[in-house]
Structure 1
Amino acid sequence: MENKKTTFIWDIIFIIYLIVLIYFATTPKPPFNYSRFPNEDKMWHFLAYGGGMFLFLKTYFHRKILLYLFGGIIFILPIGSEYIQALSPYRYFSMFDALASYAGIFTVILILFIHKKIVLSILNNKK
C-alpha cells in the first residue's frame, strides 16, 4: 500500500490531468493543429484517454467510492466532450474521436487485466 504522501501526489496529478483534458476538449478552437498526417487527432484521443485511464486506475483503484465517482466521469467524458464540441462553431461532433478515446480507455483496462493475470499466474507457479 502506498503512503499518504504518494497517494496525495497521485491525486493531484490526476485532478490536474482531468482539468487539462476537460479544458482542451471544450475550448472553442482546438489547442493543437492536427494536420501532420490523416487521423492524427484519433491517435491523440487514444493516447490522452488511455493515459488518463492509467492515471485514474493508479490513483483510485483501491478507493472504491472515488473509483466509482471518477470512473463515471472518465466514461462520460469522451462522448460528453464531443457533444459540447458540437455546440461550438469552430469544432464538430465526431463519433470516431469518441471511439478512439474509448479504445484508449479499454486498451489500458485490458493491458492491466492481462498483466494482473500473468503476475498471479507466476506467483501461483512459485508456490
Structure 2
Amino acid sequence: MDDKNKDITKIKDMFWKALFLLYIVFIIYLSVSKPIINYSSFKGEDKIVHFVSYFLGADFFFMAFFKKSKRSYFILFLIFFLLVPLLTEYFQKFSIYHTYSHLDMVASYLGAVCGSLFFAFKYKAFN
C-alpha cells in the first residue's frame, strides 16, 4: 500500500471515530436536555427513537473500531458503548424533562444488537 492510500485510510478511520464519539455525545445530550421535538404522536414512539438511535450508534461504533484499533481499545470502547443506554436512563432519573424507563433501555439495547448484526452482514457482503 502506498503512502497516499495509507493517508486516505487513516483519514477514514479518524472520520469514523470522530463521528462515533460526536454521535454518543449527541445521544447523551438529547437524553438529559429539554426535548427538541415533542415526539408523542403514538404510544411507543419513543421506543422507536431509542431503537433507531442505538442501531445507528452500533453501526458507527463498528465502522470506527472494528479491525481498526488494538483489541484492548476495541473492548474498552465496546464496554463504554454498552454502558451508554444504562447511564443515560439512570441520568434521566434526575432530569425534569425525561423519565427513567426500563423499556427505553431495552429498546436501546435491541437497537444496538440489530445495528451490530447489520454491520456484520454488511461487512461480510462487502469484504
Give the structure-1-normalised TM-score.
0.82
Out of 31, 39, 58, the position equivalent to 1:34 is 39
1:80-124 deviations in whole A, cap 9, x for unaligned? 11111011233211000000000001112223345556x4xxx9x
Give the structure-2-normalised TM-score.
0.82
1:18-65 deviations in whole A, cap 9, x for unaligned? 1111111122x3332111221111001000011000000000011123
1:17 aligns with 2:23: yes
Amino acid in the other structure paired with 1:50: F
How many residues are treated as equivalent by the alignment? 119
1:59 aligns with 2:73: no
DSSP-derived class of the 1:3 partner: helix
Aligned to 2:113: 106
Q: Label 1:7 to 1:48 Cα distance change in 2 as closer, same or farther (>3 A).
A: same
Unaligned runs of 5+ in 2: 1-5
Which moved further from structure 2: 67-76 or 42-51? 67-76
Cα RMSD of the aligned pairs, angstroms, is 2.2
Distance 2:36 2:109 in 1: 21
Identity of aligned residues (%): 31
Distance 2:81 2:12 in 1: 22
